[in-house]
Copies of this chain bind each other. A is one copy, B any other.
Amino acid sequence: MTGSAFLIDGLQYANWSEKVFRQMREGRLDAVHVTICYHEMFRETVANLENWNRWFERYPDLIRPAGTAEDIRAAKAEGRTAIVFGLQNCSPIEDDIGLVEILHTLGVRFMQLSYNNQSLLATGCYEREDPGITRMGRQVIREMNRVGMTIDMSHSAERSTLEAIEISERPIAITHANPSFWHPALRNKSDTVLKALAESGGMLGFSLYPHHLRDKSDCTLAGFCEMIARTADMIGVEHLGIGSDLCVDQPDSVVEWMRNGRWSKDLDYGEGSAAAAGFPPQPSWFQSARDFPNLADGLAAVGFSASDVDRIMGGNWLSFYEHAFAPMRTEHTETSEQARRSHVS
């Protein structure tokens, strides 16, 4: 990577601590999109934001909140890691579309329309049937477009994902998943989805969660980077980034929570199994945020140019953030949106 390049991770859910924040600095991460909800309702999500406020107060040398691309540039200049909030589920908006703007004001910049299961908005990737975007889903997509919250379909089903791409007036993201041509996990994405995503200006973040990798924990760095090269050939390098899905220091009870929340009485093992229910071990070359430089080296080794490596490692995410997080300007709301933005300045 070149010295001035941005390093951005499109998704993490660590057991946050000073140790983890120091790993981000050691890995030179300029920004991380962090998950603040899997199954939480609104009030519980606010409690998670309160925890982040305490971490920002306690570790001002390491991290800072970020709601714009400009904040990420400032973080880089200050030698801190910018934290961008996102929801892996729409549970925090409950049945209330007004909570989209409230959560945007609180800094949330990504929301998945569904997490594995059917939601009020869309279908998850583990359901048998996918009836597509719901009535409320159409309204919420429009509201997310309006306020500047990016639609994330990482855990959603095929038809719902294609419809979200079509309905949304702004590009969407698949923050953490891989192509199913490389590893046909239910969570990975078809060529059809990847092409539609790219055609609409969207972004794919490549996941390093072993269940999303060919050969899982034994996946090689070269194999991972060759897969990125094939994807670049298919949809263009400008749509690619990293969304590591790192869950550093999380106990196995957390992956059980991710899979089961409060929705099931039978234990669901998701991509795991009764015999291997916990977090799978990370590949040797990607254990924590300190290993980000390995990815850049791996990309160069499979033939990406220095500028393409920079784009994949963060430049593309930064360009995407640039356009995704500002309120949409429409004739009707322009003045009011300008007011809202300066409201909380």
Contacts and interface: CB of A to CB of B under 8 A. Distances in A.
Interface of A: 42-43, 46-47, 49-51, 53-54, 56-57, 60-61, 64-68, 70-71, 74-75, 78, 80, 96, 98-99, 101-102, 105-107, 332-336, 339-345
Nearest to A104: B344
B107 A343 contact: yes
A339 B60 contact: yes
A142 to B, nearest CB: 13
A59 to B, nearest CB: 8
Nearest to A58: B336
- The interface residues of chain A, by DSSP majority, are classed as helix
A343 B61 contact: no
Contacts of A50: 96, 98-99, 101-102
Contacts of A98: 47, 50-51, 53-54
Contacts of A53: 98, 101-102
A51 B97 CA distance: 11
B102 A105 contact: no
Nearest to A64: B339
Contacts of A57: 333, 336
A342 B341 CA distance: 11
A106 B53 CA distance: 14
Given A46-B42, A50-B98, A105-B106, A345 B341 contact: yes
A106 B42 CA distance: 14
Contacts of A67: 343-345
A185 B126 CA distance: 65
22 contacts: A42-B46, A46-B99, A47-B96, A53-B98, A53-B102, A56-B339, A56-B340, A57-B333, A60-B332, A64-B339, A65-B339, A65-B343, A66-B343, A67-B345, A70-B342, A74-B339, A75-B339, A105-B106, A106-B106, A107-B344, A341-B345, A342-B345
